[in-house]
Amino acid sequence: MVDSRRLDLLDPAEVARLGGIEIVAQGVVEGFLAGIHRSPFRGFSVEFTEHRAYQPGDELRYLDWKILARADRLFVKQFEEETNLRAMILLDASRSMAWRGDPARLTKRGYADRLVAALALILLRQRDATGLMTFDEAVRQVIPARVKAGQWTRLVRGLIDTPDGLGTAAEAALRQLAGLLARRGLVVLVSDLLLDRELALTALRYLRHRGHQVIVLHVMDPAELDLAGPPEVRFRDPESAASVVVRPRELAGAYAATVRREIAGWRTACRRHGVAYHHIRTDMPFGMALRLLA
């Protein structure tokens, strides 16, 4: 039986044990929306185009009351493609995303999959066309932004069908995405950002220059923030197989300072160029992560 408590506020690993991506995401979204009473994502990019005569079945919230008062006729406001915006979510599926420090916790990829599914469900429920692109050293899945029935199932299937890859080529994925977006919309990059910062920022700046709203979700495992372990241990890069033997106790201070600088560097660079940046740990309840986007 699914836990009756607010799933979006429970420990992510505890929630994930309730079922697959679909079950977790739906439970998280139900709790999240019940908690805030409305979607925080509405209004990113609503583009009004014209009025049209009211037809039975149209949503009353789109009625133009001023015209009704002035002309005693019912008109509704019509928006471009009758959707608030077109959103594309980019998910980093590289090998480093498959890592976790605690075997009882979700991997970065496992956490990101569920967060992406929840975010997509919220966007689709408010009639925002939503698509997905997954990538490692190459683009693996491209699901165009749609709002039609069955789109969320297609997005979740895209997540499930993307295996853990090898290296990371975020810049190539971002540039390919720019060519797919015919008009301004929302772009969300979900990654551990273990990639070439300058190349990625160049592509992110280009998307901003094209008028897109861009959000970066920097996913990290809590164990990545501090260096710990036995007196001497070998660390191996999951994407290059390079390894190094270190004494964690001797390097803990310098390591923590380096990680803090890296996070601060991403935050500063993103905000300098009008890109929203959010640092998300995989022990953060999904509802708290979603609330950062409000």
Q: What is the pLDDT, as a whole number, of residue 190?
A: 97
CA distance linking residue 122 with residue 29, whole number of Å: 7
- Under 8 Å CB-to-CB from 141, ≥6 apart: which residues? 132, 133, 134, 158, 161, 162
State the residue range of the domain holding 62: 48-81
Q: What is the pLDDT, as a whole number, of residue 177?
A: 87
Residue 58 lies in a domain: yes
Mark whether 175 and 129 lie in a shared domain.
Answer: yes
236 neighbors 242 (Cβ within 8 angstroms): yes
Mark whether 23 and 164 lie in a shared domain.
Answer: yes
Mark whether 24 and 64 lie in a shared domain.
Answer: no
Residue 144 lies in a domain: yes
Kindly indicate the confidence band of residue 131, based on its pLDDT and cuts at 50, 70 and 90.
Answer: very high
Q: What is the pLDDT, as a whole number, of residue 36?
A: 66
Q: What is the pLDDT, as a whole number, of residue 66?
A: 77
Mean pLDDT score of the chain:
86
Mark whether 148 and 168 lie in a shared domain.
Answer: yes
Mark whether 218 and 240 lie in a shared domain.
Answer: yes
Residue 248 lies in a domain: yes
Residue 179 lies in a domain: yes
Closest CA to 275 of 221, 197, 223: 197
Overall number of domains in the chain: 2
Cα distances (Å, whole numbers) of residue 219 to 70, 116, 208, 223: 52, 12, 21, 12
CA distance linking residue 263 with residue 4, whole number of Å: 36
**Two tokens, residue 20:** 């697959």
Kindly indicate the confidence band of residue 51, based on its pLDDT and cuts at 50, 70 and 90.
Answer: low
Residue 79, pLDDT above cutoff 60? no
Mark whether 185 and 66 lie in a shared domain.
Answer: no
Mark whether 113 and 200 lie in a shared domain.
Answer: yes
Mark whether 258 and 164 lie in a shared domain.
Answer: yes
For residue 204, give the DSSP letter.
H
Q: Residue 77: enclosing H or E segment and its boundaries?
A: strand 75-79
CA distance linking residue 211 with residue 222, whole number of Å: 34
Q: What is the pLDDT, as a whole number, of residue 167?
A: 82
pTM of the prediction?
0.82
Of 99-113, 216-230, 238-252, the range with the lowest mean pLDDT is 238-252
Mark whether 188 and 247 lie in a shared domain.
Answer: yes
What average pLDDT does the segment 143-151 reach? 92
**Two tokens, residue 35:** 């908690």
Kindly indicate the confidence band of residue 215, based on its pLDDT and cuts at 50, 70 and 90.
Answer: very high
pLDDT in tens, 89-114: 999 999 999 999 999 999 999 999 99
CA distance linking residue 262 with residue 55, whole number of Å: 54
Q: What is the pLDDT, as a whole number, of residue 44?
A: 45
Residue 1 lies in a domain: no
